[in-house]
Homo-oligomer: A and B are copies of this chain.
Amino acid sequence: MRARHVRHSSSSRQPFAIKIAPHRALHTMPSMSTVTIKDVARVARVNPATVSKALRGLPGKVSQETRERIEQVARELGYRHNAVAATLRTRRSDLIGVIVPDLGNPLFGPLVQGLERQLREGGWMSVVVQPPEDPSSRRAVITTLAARQVAGLIISSAESDDPMLGAAAEMGIPLVLVNRGLNERRFSCVVNDDRESVMLVLDHLRALGHTRIAHLAGPMSSSTGRGRRQAFEALMSKIPGAQGTVVDASAFTREAGFAAMQSLLARRRARRATAVFAANDLIAVGALDALRQAGLRVPEDISVVGHNDMPLVDMIAPPLTTVRIPLARMSDHAAALLREHLADPSLPPTQRVLTPTLVVRASTAPPLE
């Protein structure tokens, strides 16, 4: 159910003596009093059904005159629409579940910002959940959301075997994935073109003269971690004389990036990469931590590239060369796609792949030797 436009002044609440069903009048505070369409109907001397029609502004259903009278009465009585009752009746709610792994991650703040804004402007409200790790809790998240009759779900950063996906599918809840997709095409999704990302990065590093390049890969359970790694390996293998290395970071975190870089630094210097491409900015920042601790200079001794162009990475030392993903367009597309699914449940799963851009800053330079 969409946003209502029941207008009523705040100042005048029950200015007249009105007959409200006594048992309610007794049990509730005046400010909490529940005025229903029945109450409005009684005072306006019309039928509750008419009030319902009038207040929703259905065109051509109720005369201008009675509509105005009803609106007037509703305002005077301080009538407030009860969307819960309406949802029960219509089986339609204006709630969308927005699922995001971690709002502390600077990537997801802006993402949810865009999603919430788009959804709200379309008349929907966002129920935001950060699911716990354990599988049964994740299932329970969907169950709870379903109990609330959410009309649809937007899930960011899903992993392939996430119990939430199966649960949502079983319950038939329309669903759009954002940021990460899946191997299979079961669900609609809006994702970055990771192959293009890697291409941009490798072209840039090769142009600078790098041939030994390392990739600090994100978790393989995520499409972004997997996709960037696969693209890295595929593209590096095509470059004559290039030598690629992959080190796994255990998570998309600064700490994991630190550890991954340390393990890279433990290798023999002669063969070591002169440039590092991190699967995301947090990993890159962790890598910078490790490099600083090891006494290495960036970009003189080693170049570092991130991914995502998170807020503030232009301010770190050195300003990070990174791949910018179109977050705002991503949320717009995801919200729009979900709306299409809600409007037409038979719509088949759709992919939308957005093109990233490279942002060159000061963390990359030609190799020294």
Contact = CB atoms under 8 A, between A and B. Distances in A.
A104 B140 CA distance: 29
Contacts of A172: 29, 31-32
A203 B98 CA distance: 44
Nearest to A316: B315
Nearest to A163: B10
Contacts of A109: 103-106, 108-109
Given A3-B144, A80-B143, A82-B147, A170 B130 contact: no
A239 interface: no
Assembly of this chain: how many copies?
A: 2
A81 interface: yes
B125 A148 contact: yes
A128 interface: yes
Interface size class of A (residues with CB under 8 A): 35 or more
Contact of A31 (B125, B139, B171): B171
A315 B49 CA distance: 62
B87 A84 contact: yes
Contacts of A148: 83-84, 95, 125
Interface stretch (A112-120, A207-215, A265-273): A112-120
A323 to B, nearest CB: 17
Interface in A96-137: 98, 102-106, 108-110, 112-113, 116-117, 120, 125-130
A311 B125 CA distance: 28
B129 A127 contact: no
Interface string A262-289: 0000000000000000000000010010
Given A103-B116, A113-B103, A147 B80 contact: yes
Nearest to A311: B106
A125 B126 contact: no
A58 interface: no
Contacts of A129: 116, 120, 125-126
A171 B143 CA distance: 30
Interface in A292-337: 310-313, 315-319
Contacts of A146: 80
Contacts of A312: 106, 285, 310-313, 315-316
Contact of A84 (B13, B93, B170): B93
Contacts of A10: 139, 166-167, 170
7 contacts: A3-B140, A31-B170, A88-B88, A98-B128, A120-B130, A285-B312, A285-B315
